[in-house]
Amino acid sequence: MRYLEVSVSQSPGERNPMHQFVVERDAYGPARLLHREAGESTHAMLVHVEGPTEPYREALEAREAVRAYELSPCPDDSFYLYVREALTGEDREFSAAFSQPGLLLLMPVEYRTDGTVHLTAVGPAGAVQAAVEDIPETMGVEVVSVGEYAAGRVEARQGLTQRQFEAARAAVETGYYRSPREATLSEVADRLDCATGTAGELLRRAERTVMADLVSGGPF
């Protein structure tokens, strides 16, 4: 079983308008697609967005393609968005590339503030290769990594929220947990595109959850 991790660059006209909204405003961090169900003419999505709720709501209200939506604010200046909207030609082209038979798109799909879309897909080697070839030619594709899929033990992660896991992964990848330490908390926050205090709190909660799980079964 192979995996493919890619970063896709789109022009402003190709991006989902709400991704472009985030790109153009400093108050917003990345948006993460958590779930998507596509129909023939519309698709429904659950998204986590970092940033203030009301400006985003106003932008949604102005979009003719939006059929229905709901926002659920979080305590940390972020919110969850449920939205059902009409499929555009760009939406169809992009999603078709990752709808190969046997290919699974792993969540979250990250819509970053630099305008790129970061995603990972898993499946047979042929399906992975076909996904790369089917991405529209107008979009730039950077293959971040590709290889044999090995996610590690599910049990070690199931107590963490998605954001806590992302924080832990960023800390490990930057060298924050190495001895001597090779990265600062500020560098971890930069990787997460959030405030330093937010990164610290995410790591503390992740550490508390993992340590509690580690000792809950008693000694070896």
pLDDT at 121 > cutoff 90: no
Q: Is the dihedral of CA 147, 162, 209, 159 positive or negative?
A: negative
Q: What digits encode the pLDDT tens for the residues 165-208?
A: 889 989 998 999 998 899 999 999 999 989 999 999 999 988 98
pLDDT at 153 > cutoff 80: no
The more confidently predicted of residues 91 and 41 is 41
Query: Tokens 């947990």 identify what position?
Result: 177
Q: Which residues have C-beta within 8 Å of that of residue 171, sequence separation ≥ 6?
A: 177, 183, 188, 203
Residue 96: which pLDDT band, with cuts at 50, 70 and 90? Answer: confident
pLDDT at res. 81: 97
Helix (H) or strand (E) holding 42: strand 42-50
Contact 1, 122 (CB under 8 A): yes
Q: Is the pTM of this model over 0.75?
A: no
Query: Tokens 């660059």 identify what position?
Result: 9
Find the mean pLDDT for residues 136-157: 71
What would the two tokens of residue 130 be? 């076909």
pLDDT at res. 102: 83
Helix (H) or strand (E) holding 31: strand 31-38
- Taking the C-alpha atoms of residue 186 and residue 70, their distance in angstroms, rounded to an integer, is 33
pLDDT at res. 220: 42
Contact 133, 141 (CB under 8 A): no
The more confidently predicted of residues 127 and 90 is 127
Q: What digits encode the pLDDT tens for the residues 22-63?
A: 999 999 998 999 999 888 888 899 999 999 999 999 999 999
- Taking the C-alpha atoms of residue 131 and residue 168, their distance in angstroms, rounded to an integer, is 29
Mutual orientation of helices 89-97 and 125-134 as an angle, nearest 10°?
150
At 125 the three-state DSSP class reads: helix
